[in-house]
Amino acid sequence: MAITTKAIDSVNCEIDAKIENSQIKANVEKLAKKAAKTMKVDGFRQGHVPVSVVLKRYEKELTSDAEQDALREILNEALKEQKRSNNDLIGEPLVNKFERSDSGIDVNMIVSFKPSVDVSGYEALIPEFSTPKVLKKDIDEKKNEILKMVAPLEKVEKKRALKSGDFAKFDFEGFVDGVAFDGGKAENYLLEIGSGQFIPGFEDGMIGLKPGEEKDVEVTFPAEYGAPNLAGKPAVFKVKLHEIQERKIPETLDEKTLKAILANEENPTEELLDERIKEQIRSEKMFNLINEDLKPKFAEAVVEKFKFDVPKNIVEQEMDMQFRNAWAGFSKEEIEKIKDDKDAIVKKREEFRKDAENSVRLTFIIDELARVRGVKVADQEVVQAVYFEAYRTGRDPKSHLEMYKNQGMLPAIKMSMIEEKLFNEMFNKDEKKTAKKEKAE
C-alpha cells in the first residue's frame, strides 16, 4: 500500500494512497477466519464453519468491511507520517476519491485536526456599553400588565358596545359555501377582543355589537390554515353576543392581590413587587442588548482579530447546513435555474464558504474563551434543557432526548448553552471595567 501525505495548512492534511487488490483479499480472508469462529450456520457446529462457506455467503459485506479496514490503516500510517495522533483528529475525513480499478483502489482524502487557538487580548474587544436603565414608567407598565393578568373579570352591566380589550361571551357557528363545518360552532365562548386568537377579521367584525345582538361576520381563512378544507376559503360566522366582561384592575394593591402576585414571599409589599419587576425588566433589557448588539459586535471583532486555519471537513458541514437553510428562501426562479445544473449548485453553495469559515472560526474562539474563563455546562444541564423544552411543547421528555441523541444534536445544544452562559457571564460581570454603569432612574 503506497501512501503520500501533504500538509495543506496547520490543521488540514491531504492523503493520497493506493490500496492493492491483494491487501483487500488478505483483509477479507482475515475477517472471514475471525467470523468463522463465532458464526452460526445451519449444518455446521458453531466455531467449525469452513472459511469458504463464510466467504461465499458474505463476500459483499466482508469486502466492504475489508475496504474500511484498509482506509483505517491508511489513516493510521498518515498520522504517523505527520507526527499526529488520533486525539488530534476532528470530525470525519473528507473522501474526495475512492476509485476502484483492476489493480486496486485509488484514494484521496483530507483529514483535519483541532486548531490551536490563542485569544490573548480578547478583553480589549469587548464592546463598551451602558447598563440598561429601568425607568419608573417601565415598572408601572409592567405592573399594569401583571395586574391585568390577576384582575378578576366582571360583567359590564351598562348596555354598551363591544370594544377592543373587552371579553365577549357569545355563541357562534361558521359556514363555508352555506354549509356548517366541523369545529366551527361553540356556545358561551369567552374571547378577549383584540387578542388575535381567532382568524384575522373575526374579532374586528364583532366590535360594536351590544349584548343580545346578532351579526354575520364575514372572514377569509388564511391560505396556510391548518385544515386544508378551509384554507383560503371565505366563511360566514353567525354570532350572538350574550354579555361583555372587563377586567377590574384595582386602583391600589391590597394584601390579597400582592399575595397572589408574590406567592413565594412571606411579607409581600408593593415596594418588593416594584423591585422584582425592576430586576425582571433589567434582565430582559440586558438579554436583548447582549444578543442584538454586544454579541454580534464582539463576534465580528474576534473573528477579524484571531486568524487561524480551520478544519475543512467542519467548514464543509457548515456550508451544507447554510445552503440547506437558504434553499427554503430561494425564489422559484432561482430553484428552477439551478436544480438540474450541478455546476450552478456547486457555484451557489460556494457563496457560503466565507460565512461558513467565519462561523466555524467563531465556534473555536468561543470554545477557547469558555475554557479560559472557566465556563462549563454539565451533561446533566443539557438533559434538563432538553426535558424543559419537551415539557414546554407537550412532548415526552425521554423520547425528545432520544431523538436529539439519534440526530447527533446534543453536542450542538451543549455548545449553544456554553455560548449563552459565556456571553451572559462576560457582559454581566459587576467588575467589568469597560461598562459604563448607570443607576436606574
Choose one of 85, 112, 139: the last residue of a domain.
Answer: 112
Q: Are both 287 and 418 inside the same structural domain?
A: yes
- Answer yes or no: is 284 within a domain: yes
Q: Are both 300 and 403 inside the same structural domain?
A: yes
Q: Look at residue 56 in the predicted model and tell me its pLDDT.
A: 82
- Residue 9's domain is classified under what CATH number? 3.30.70.1050
Q: Are both 419 and 332 inside the same structural domain?
A: yes
- Residue 226's domain is classified under what CATH number? 3.10.50.40
Q: Are both 349 and 412 inside the same structural domain?
A: yes
Q: Look at residue 135 in the predicted model and tell me its pLDDT.
A: 92
Q: Are both 285 and 243 inside the same structural domain?
A: no
Q: Are both 96 and 210 inside the same structural domain?
A: no
- Answer yes or no: is 368 within a domain: yes
- Answer yes or no: is 133 within a domain: no
User: What value, to the nearest 5°, has the Cα angle with vertex 331 and ends 325 and 335?
Assistant: 80
- Answer yes or no: is 125 within a domain: no
- Answer yes or no: is 131 within a domain: no
Q: Could you give the CA distance from residue 238 to residue 174 in angstroms, rounded to a whole number? A: 6
User: Radius of gyration (Cα) for the chain, nearest Å?
Assistant: 33
User: What value, to the nearest 5°, has the Cα angle with vertex 152 and ends 149 and 156?
Assistant: 120
- Residue 307's domain is classified under what CATH number? 1.10.3120.10
Q: Could you give the CA distance from residue 409 to residue 309 in angstroms, rounded to a whole number? A: 25
**Residue span of the structural domain in which 106 resides:** 2-112
Name the domain count of the chain: 3
Are 331 and 338 a contacting pair, CB within 8 Å?
no
Q: What is the DSSP string of 375-424?
A: ----HHHHHHHHHHHHHHTT--HHHHHHHHHHTT-HHHHHHHHHHHHHHH
User: What value, to the nearest 5°, has the Cα angle with vertex 220 and ends 214 and 222?
Assistant: 135
Choose one of 112, 129, 163: the last residue of a domain.
Answer: 112
Q: Are both 196 and 339 inside the same structural domain?
A: no
Record the cell numbers describing residue 179, joined without a space.
354549509
Q: Could you give the CA distance from residue 255 to residue 263 in angstroms, rounded to a whole number? A: 11
Closest CA to 271 of 184, 143, 357, 169: 143
Q: Could you give the CA distance from residue 432 to residue 62 in angstroms, rounded to a whole number? A: 61
Q: Are both 166 and 276 inside the same structural domain?
A: no
Give me the tens of pLDDT residue by residue for the chain, a chain 441 residues long: 789 999 999 999 999 999 888 888 888 888 888 888 888 777 787 777 888 888 888 888 888 888 888 899 999 999 999 999 999 999 899 999 999 888 889 999 999 999 999 999 999 999 998 888 999 999 988 888 888 777 788 999 888 999 999 999 999 999 999 999 998 999 999 999 999 999 999 999 999 999 999 999 999 999 989 888 999 999 999 999 999 999 887 777 777 778 777 877 778 888 888 888 999 899 899 989 999 999 999 999 999 999 999 999 999 999 999 988 888 788 888 888 887 788 888 898 999 999 999 999 999 999 999 999 999 999 999 999 999 888 887 888 899 999 999 988 898 899 999 999 999 888 876 444 444 444 444
Choose one of 112, 144, 167: the last residue of a domain.
Answer: 112
Q: Are both 284 and 396 inside the same structural domain?
A: yes
- What letter represents residue 264's amino acid? N
- Answer yes or no: is 258 within a domain: no
- Answer yes or no: is 18 within a domain: yes
Q: Are both 366 and 289 inside the same structural domain?
A: yes
Record the pTM: 0.69
Q: Are both 242 and 278 inside the same structural domain?
A: no
Q: Look at residue 429 in the predicted model and tell me its pLDDT.
A: 63
- Answer yes or no: is 166 within a domain: yes
Q: Are both 222 and 321 inside the same structural domain?
A: no
